[in-house]
Structure 1
Amino acid sequence: MAATTVRPITGMLRRGLMLDLGLSLGIGFVMANAYWYGYHMPRTNARDAYYKKLEEERAARIGA
């Protein structure tokens, strides 16, 4: 029975881990920015504009 020599697999785990971490962090960063600037900030600006308009109307009614 002949013993077969299998070369050790070196560096593949580290390379795969770096690729997975890099892609995960990159995609996470892109998605976080898409949410922040595509949804959160426009909604926040719309809310602030609405309350500013209400405050201006209230101030005009009171005459202050």
Structure 2
Amino acid sequence: MAIAPITGMLRRGLLTDLSIAVGLGFAMANTFWYGFHVPRTVARDNYYRKLEEERAARQKA
């Protein structure tokens, strides 16, 4: 066999690296989603809600 099977130390290192990568990826995705995306979406929605309320108030007057 040209390539030796993954065993022992290499397997543990591979699992550790994959676990760390997936964990950090998940953490960074949550940081982006709840730290940037959600607040910007709420700010956008509030802006358009305010514009709509102003437009409705002008039409009633």
Q: TM-score range by the shorter chain?
A: 0.7 to 0.9
Task: Name the one with the larger helix percent.
Answer: 2
State the identity as a percent.
Answer: 69
Residue from 24, 33, 36 that aligns with 2:33? 36
Give the root-mean-square deviation of aligned CA atoms. Answer: 1.3
Structure 2 gap segments, 5+ residues each:
1-6
Letter in 2 for 1:45: V
Aligned to 1:21: 18
Larger radius of gyration: 1
Structure 1 residue runs of 4 or more that deviate by more than 2 Å after TM superposition: none
- What is the TM-score normalised by the length of structure 2? 0.85
- What is the TM-score normalised by the length of structure 1? 0.81
Can you list the C-alpha shifts for 1:9-57, whole angstroms capped at 9, x where unaligned? x411110110000000000000000000000000000000000000000
The total of aligned residue pairs comes to 55
Structure 1 gap segments, 5+ residues each:
1-9
